[in-house]
């Protein structure tokens, strides 16, 4: 009995934390199945019209645009930052610390500070209102994060593994394919998760350099707010919000093991 009494504060804290984080999601789901009653006021529950509208309108196109932007961002970022992280963690070259610090400074730059330059450049070179332009913009902001995470993780892998593999006759490509990449699976999972999160949830840049034809889902949600922050149709917006949660939760479920292993290393 005394043990349960001692555990009571922890149970209460866990319950309070769960309510704080879970209640908004439950409320969002409930609101997506409701509609405003134009006669009596208030909301009508169990209204499926929001979901019919969602899957029969341009919202589906925006959802598809989000996938077409996010998936290439993950692939391109990993292809570039993985070898860059290996170089920073294994070799010393002229200006390596300055270049690495420059990557971190780029990541610390607020996205809002780059909105106007991106808009002007894209209008001049023809990337305005294109998916390629959004992918390029996100890629520029994601590269510093990927380099930092990969460098931190690879720095924990002993260099003696590289030396022993090369002594045993492994070429660089075989070493990466059979030894180094399997060791870096937690880092790849972590980088993929964070790049997904940054690219999927970003809305400010996309809302400026795209229109409704190429606008991702979150940017369209952002554009529905009026000048005083009110939303015209909370039901359809809530349904769209539920849709945006599903890929993120699926990605988190997939990366949960890699996140646990990656944070165990202590540098990520």
Taking the C-alpha atoms of residue 253 and residue 102, their distance in angstroms, rounded to an integer, is: 33
C-alpha closest to that of 205 among 268, 264, 117? 117
Number of continuous H segments (helices) and E segments (strands) in the chain: 13, 2
Q: Going by C-beta distance under 8 Å and a sequence separation of 6 or more, which residues neighbour residue 214?
A: 65, 129, 130, 131, 134
Alpha carbon distance 139, 101 (integer Å)? 18
Q: Which domains does the chain have, with CATH numbers?
A: 2-45 (no CATH), 57-264 (1.10.3720.10)
Task: Show the tokens assigned to 213.
Answer: 């034809």
Question: What is the token pair recorded at 78?
Answer: 């990993």
pLDDT over 90, % of the chain: 22
Classify residue 118 as exposed, middle or buried by CB count within 10 Å of its CB (0-12, 13-18, 19+): buried
What whole-number percentage of the chain has pLDDT above 70?
A: 87
Confidence of residue 228 (pLDDT cuts 50, 70, 90): very low
**pLDDT greater than 70 at residue 193:** yes
> Is it the case that residue 81 has pLDDT exceeding 60?
yes
Examine the pLDDT at 38 and tell me if it is beyond 50: no
Length of the chain: 268
Examine the pLDDT at 39 and tell me if it is beyond 80: no
Q: What pLDDT score does 222 carry?
A: 77
Dihedral, CA of residue 141, residue 73, residue 68 and residue 246, to nearest 10: -90
Please list, in sequence order, all residues whose beta carbon lies within 8 angstroms of the beta carbon of residue 155, skipping any fewer than 6 positions away: 89, 267
pLDDT at 239 (0 to 100): 86
Query: Which contiguous run of DSSP H or E holds residue 98?
Result: helix 96-108
Taking all residues of the chain, what is their mean pLDDT, rounded to a whole number?
82
The answer to whether 132 and 72 are in contact (CB under 8 A) is no
Q: What's the pLDDT score for residue 230?
A: 53
User: Where is pLDDT greater, at 264 or 95?
Assistant: 95
> Hey, is 156 helix, strand or coil?
coil
Least confident of 63-77, 98-112, 152-166: 98-112
- What stretch of H or E contains 135? helix 131-154
**How confident is the model at residue 79, as a pLDDT?**
95
């Amino acid at each position: 009995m005394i043990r349960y009494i001692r555990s009571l504060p922890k149970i209460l804290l866990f319950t309070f934390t769960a309510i704080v984080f879970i209640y908004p999601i439950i409320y969002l789901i409930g609101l997506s199945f409701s509609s405003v009653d134009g006669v009596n006021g208030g909301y009508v529950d169990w209204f499926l019209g929001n979901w019919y509208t969602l899957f029969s309108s341009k919202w589906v196109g925006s959802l598809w645009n989000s996938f077409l932007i996010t998936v290439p961002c993950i692939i391109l970022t990993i292809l570039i930052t993985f070898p860059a992280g290996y170089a920073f963690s294994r070799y010393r070259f002229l200006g390596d610390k300055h270049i690495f610090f420059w990557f971190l400074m780029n990541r610390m730059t607020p996205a809002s500070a780059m909105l106007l330059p991106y808009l002007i450049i894209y209008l001049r070179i023809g990337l305005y209102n294109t998916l390629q332009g959004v992918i390029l913009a996100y890629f520029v902001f994601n590269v510093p994060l990927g380099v930092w995470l990969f460098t931190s993780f690879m720095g924990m892998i002993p260099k003696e593994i590289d030396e022993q593999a090369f002594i045993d006759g492994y070429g660089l490509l075989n070493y990466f394919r059979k030894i180094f990449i399997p060791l870096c699976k937690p880092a790849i999972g972590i980088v993929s998760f964070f790049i997904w999160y940054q690219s999927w949830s970003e809305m400010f840049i996309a809302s400026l350099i795209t229109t409704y034809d190429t606008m991702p889902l979150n940017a369209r949600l952002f554009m529905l707010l009026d000048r005083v922050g009110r939303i015209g149709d909370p039901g359809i917006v809530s349904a769209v919000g539920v849709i945006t949660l599903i890929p993120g939760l699926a990605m988190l479920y997939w990366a949960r093991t890699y996140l646990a292993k990656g944070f165990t290393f202590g540098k990520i």
